[in-house]
Structure 1
């Protein structure tokens, strides 16, 4: 059955749920190492810059893989590409289970990035094949919710269960085995066609007519992912510094709140105009960051967590709003390269600033680095509503 034929059939609810849960599992696995970073540092004695390099390795490999394999499932079919990602993810879980040094950790994160990069576009397309109305929404909400639950679940297992540096990966490995078995029952929604190798040529381009809107609205996504990258890599260390406690579950809460509240923000704002979504992001994200800084200044755990809860909906709205402002402007033959450009900027925003922050902690200390990092995030986030309010006639409109 072709993709077009699949769109003409009634939505496949069972398959829609299956692929959504699979997408959530991949992003949950990506969040599992976050509450473990402090344990890794204490056990293997590596620096904070190396910690952020471990996080950045995942995003770099994910991005590169996504650029080369983004259209692969259109030629080979959804199921074969998804199966390859599942097998690689299983191998990554095995690397994490066997890890005994920083080198193992880097290898596991790199392999995990490749696995996630392979399935990202294939699962997104599969969700669209199942239901072209609900599919895109679930593709936006699922990853954030999955990442938050992965961080929280790993924190719970580390604190309350045996084998703190292994058990979470065993659990995720079992989940992926179940999904491999379940994939055999999934219906293929596209027919194989030639051109798979040619499709692996990266196409990254912002058309000239779209560039002004891209430059005006993309800072919302950059600010969102900049905060997300910092929280996923250095959030546990910051929480330990503020609270004076090495409680792993407590250290997992900032990333959990950011991701889960982000997914709720996407869900609640999904029917609003794109301009309104961007204004929400430019209000909630900076407000949340201010409350986070208040928590850092006063060493208040309650303020720190409240700040992340407030920033979370702004995080989700920034990503969704920028995408909805930019993507509908592209003609069909421009969408693939424009989406690639969108993801390149977003993922680099999550990795490079976090890596720079990790290096800055050596020179300025963690708390001073937080102040400088927060200032940049707030300026980027605030630039979008300022631009929209100055040019209301050119403001992005809601997309269908």
Structure 2
């Protein structure tokens, strides 16, 4: 770039667009499991207890949370691009392990690797986009990033449903995931460029903090960061319930694999499509109202799904959950970037994403226990209550963080 690197979406559009494509490949890796794996657990591996079925989400959530926690530090120490490439290398065996799995333990191992893959690659694309765009269009940038990832989740969930209907649960649906891993790795090695140098363009002075200080500040001490972290955890708690229990619920009620694939795709499709608009609106209106409203909408929609019966009512509920999640997802990331100093922002993003994806593990355990004891409908209803309460916590605790509105960083 003439005159050296510059911050901004337009100034870095080619590299930014490439990172959007790379994150679509990351989302596709997750999407390969959304429709097929819960059914594989029941129909191929004969797992009847919901707690056993959801073990793969528990394994995924824990490994992804841990990978997120270290991704920011690794990006600061070694650079963004090497961490991105490492994440793709870890993801390559995932579809093959599921295709060849003779027992459920192989699937658990595959999801440990998938969690590391998602933690390293998705965290890094988020950090790299924040590096490139600067503070002015941060919400829009996160909207593009998350939209690409979750539209790929939706498209892959839909396609794998049809592939499973036509060719069986294995191997056809997971060959798509293998293609995503190969393409993502190739783009990252050949075309992606390092962005760590852009941080110096935004940094004014230094705010040196230890890893422990950053974890405590992001998790508990800062009003806004702690509210964001708990909202992220609960958001992915309810997404883990949707991922693990919705296909089983729909199958029990007699829907076909193709219909289940459509319903499974509706949530991430609306989620993905809405995030660009939500991110842009958060740049204009502020972060807090979108996060609060999105969490409350998700809670109401989950209650609808728990009470509904039939393809159309469930499709409406899934779409409303997706809309609420779209309001929340890019906005939470933008809020973290608003508050954290550029010198420790990558690590703060990692801590936030640790809490957010730990929600998968919490959701898998709680949903499995409640579903085994009281049924799937009760598990979804309980998740609705927790999600609504999380929105109220944001309303009470979070301060507005959008640049230009003098963010309140008072520490409790």
What is the TM-score normalised by the length of structure 2? 0.81
Distance 1:159 1:81, change over 3 A: same
Who is 1:149 aligned against? 155
CA contact (8 A) 2:299 2:386 kept: no
Distance 1:284 1:10, change over 3 A: closer
Determine which of 263, 268, 272 is the counterpart of 2:272.
263
Q: Which moves more between the two structures, 247-256 or 341-350?
A: 247-256
Distance 1:208 1:359, change over 3 A: closer
- Following TM superposition, by how much is the alpha carbon of 1:218 offset from its aligned partner in structure 2, in angstroms? 4.7
Who is 2:350 aligned against? 340
Aligned residues: 380
CA deviations 1:14-44 (Å, max 9, x no partner) are 4333321221211221121221221332211
Matches within 5 A, 1:1-400: 5=5, 7=7, 11-36=11-36, 37-46=38-47, 47-128=49-130, 131-132=133-134, 133=137, 135-160=141-166, 162-190=167-195, 204-206=215-217, 211-216=222-227, 218-241=229-252, 243-245=253-255, 247-269=256-278, 270-271=280-281, 272-295=285-308, 299-385=309-395, 387=396, 395-399=399-403
What's the Cα RMSD here?
Answer: 3.1
Distance 2:372 2:162 in 1: 30
- Following TM superposition, by how much is the alpha carbon of 1:60 offset from its aligned partner in structure 2, in angstroms? 0.9
Distance 2:230 2:120 in 1: 26
CA deviations 1:46-96 (Å, max 9, x no partner) are 232122111121121111122223232344344333222222211112212
Distance 1:383 1:71, change over 3 A: closer
CA deviations 1:240-294 (Å, max 9, x no partner) are 23x323x223223444222221223322222232233134314422332232233
Who is 1:196 aligned against? none
CA deviations 1:139-176 (Å, max 9, x no partner) are 2322222222222222121123x253211221221233
Distance 2:333 2:12 in 1: 26
- Following TM superposition, by how much is the alpha carbon of 1:108 offset from its aligned partner in structure 2, in angstroms? 0.7
What is the TM-score normalised by the length of structure 1? 0.83
Distance 1:377 1:80 in 2: 36
* 3-state DSSP of counterpart to 2:173: helix
Q: Which moves more between the two structures, 123-132 or 93-102?
A: 123-132
CA contact (8 A) 2:275 2:326 kept: yes
CA deviations 1:366-399 (Å, max 9, x no partner) are 22332223222233334444x38xxxxx841534
CA contact (8 A) 1:210 1:330 kept: no
* Structure 2 gap ranges (5+): 198-208, 405-412
CA deviations 1:154-205 (Å, max 9, x no partner) are 2121123x2532112212212332343334431533589xxxxxx9977522
Distance 1:200 1:111 in 2: 28
Distance 1:324 1:126 in 2: 13
Distance 1:303 1:191 in 2: 47
Q: Which moves more between the two structures, 27-36 or 267-276?
A: 267-276
Distance 1:42 1:307 in 2: 26
* Structure 1 gap ranges (5+): 193-198, 389-393
